[in-house]
Amino acid sequence: MKIISERDFVIRRWSDFLDFDWFILGPVLVLLTFNLMVLKSAANGEYLLRQAMFLIPSIMFGVFALCVRINFWQSSVLWIYLFNLLLLFIVLIKGASSMGAQRWIDIGFIKIQPSEIAKFAIIISLAAWFTKHTIKNYLDILIAGLIIALPFLLIFKQPDLGTSLAYIAIFLGMAFWSGATMTHLLVIVSPLVSLICNATGNTMFNFGSILFKSKIIELTVSQPFLIFLIFLLVWLIVNYKPWQSPWTVLFISLLIFSNFIIGFIRPLLWSLLHSYQQQRLIIFLNPESDPQGAGYHIIQSILAIGNGGFFGYGWQHGRLTKGNYVPAQHTDFIFSTVGEEFGFIGSSFIVILFAVILWRALYIAKNSNNQFASLICVGIFSFFSFHIFVNIGMTLGIMPITGVPLPLLSYGGTALLIDLFSVFMLLSISWKTLPRSMF
């Protein structure tokens, strides 16, 4: 679908400000206000001034996104993608390290995090590809997946498990919007589901043990793993009717066998993760097993949110957050500060603001008269929804700690820049491609 007439972003009179998409801009302004308020409380306000300073260049880049024509991004996609890879390679070669991870480029007065910039580059790259190549089969999905493959591996190497998983969420959302079916997506994520299922539940079969990297590893098959394989088999039979073609029988057989092998060698794949990553993925199931170690973050976060009750202790009066009992309360666990100081009411209000932004992103994607712009909206929706769900989930103890920041609220210069850049892209697409009658 080609754009008919792209509206220029020009403010000619004060009434033009009413033409902004206030369903996006309004919640974002409120969230940014909350961001500064919460950072005033978190970590004794140490990061408030820095975040306020980060706002200035972030808004400047956002205005740039608002003013530039949408077809500029489509025509520049190759250079954006290559520049993204260059930054990721620089991080790999001579990046700055902190807390065991090499994720930043130190340019003297500031550190930038290319893995955050890569989110927007990936969204633009996939949008440009899917605009020209609608998904019809698994080969189309495989080829599109190569776009995120190298950035994914480079970021996983840093290591940054949470951000690399965000790229998968972006890819799945944009692939679905471009024509992939639920069966396509189930097949794509089935190896990951097999790994997770065979790591949980009761063991049904034990095939002995092997010695790998000086460790004795048990090769087992769990009950949830077998249930998932049966579910996958039934789903594929119902949707593909293998009795109609021997090639379909071969495809289903190979897929089930591959999932079994991947789930079966889970202990070997598990050993590829760093020890702290393994602890983070395990401890959220039972944080009390190591209350002073790996489970400390989760326990303190849950206590802080629980202490907030219905109305909270009030701004700057959180007992656990003001006492610095909650680690990383200005970044990964900033929602625990919100929960303790503003309670259930304040936390729900934050979630509702995020829900309005996500709803509006899908609304713009559905009604935009530009397919490229529509796909960008879906990419931003997938990026934001993944971060929101995982971050809030890990502060509540229902998701593992993966270091995923909460958009527009967590402290971080590069993350804030990309969050606001994405928001202004939504505003730009809404302004330039939606009919005015849609407001």
83-92, 105-114, 374-383: least confident range: 105-114
Amino acid at 91: V
Span 151-161, average pLDDT = 84
pLDDT on residue 15: 55
Residue 10 has a CB neighbour count (10 Å cut-off) of 8
pLDDT in tens, 220-268: 788 888 999 999 999 999 999 988 888 899 999 999 999 998 888 877 7
Q: Which of the four pLDDT bands, split at 50, 70 and 90, describes residue 3?
A: very low
Residue 189 has pLDDT above 70, yes or no: yes
Q: How far apart are CA 117 and CA 163, in angstroms?
A: 11
- Listed in sequence order, the residues at least 6 apart from 266 whose beta carbon sits closer than 8 Å to its beta carbon are 194, 195, 198, 199
Average pLDDT score over the chain: 86
pLDDT on residue 2: 44
pLDDT in tens, 41-91: 887 778 899 999 999 999 999 999 888 888 899 999 999 999 999 999 988
Span 30-50, average pLDDT = 89
pLDDT on residue 256: 93
117-126, 133-142, 197-206, 430-439: least confident range: 430-439
pLDDT in tens, 267-281: 777 776 767 666 766
Note the pTM of the prediction, 2 decimals.
0.90
Q: Which of the four pLDDT bands, split at 50, 70 and 90, describes residue 199?
A: confident
Span 409-423, average pLDDT = 92
Q: Which of 90-94, 220-224, 339-343 has the highest mean pLDDT?
A: 339-343
pLDDT on residue 5: 58
Q: How far apart are CA 15 and CA 263, in angstroms?
A: 59
Q: Which of the four pLDDT bands, split at 50, 70 and 90, describes residue 217?
A: low
Residue 312 has pLDDT above 80, yes or no: yes
Residue 349 has pLDDT above 60, yes or no: yes
Span 9-22, average pLDDT = 64
Q: Which of the four pLDDT bands, split at 50, 70 and 90, describes residue 329?
A: confident
Residue 167 has pLDDT above 80, yes or no: yes
pLDDT on residue 264: 83
pLDDT on residue 359: 96
Q: What percent of the chain has pLDDT over 70?
A: 88
Judge whether 336 and 348 are in contact, CB under 8 Å.
no
Q: What percent of the chain has pLDDT over 90?
A: 47
Residue 362 has pLDDT above 60, yes or no: yes
